[in-house]
Amino acid sequence: MPGWRPPLPHMAARPTKAWRARRCRPMPKRHPDHQPLRSCAVCRSVHPKREMTRLVRRADGSVSVDPSGKAAGRGTYLCDDPACHEPARLADGVRRTLDVAVEPDALIAEVTHASA
pLDDT average, residue stretch 74-97: 93
Query: Where are the domains positioned within the chain?
Result: 37-115
How many other CB atoms are there within 10 angstroms of residue 32's CB atom?
5
At 89, the pLDDT band (50, 70, 90 cuts) reads very high
Q: What is the pLDDT of residues 40-55, one digit of tens each?
A: 999 999 999 999 999 9
Does this model's pTM top 0.85? no
Question: CATH code for 37-115?
Answer: 3.30.1230.10
DSSP states along 70-107:
--SSEEEEE-S-GGGGSHHHHHHHHHHHH-----HHHH
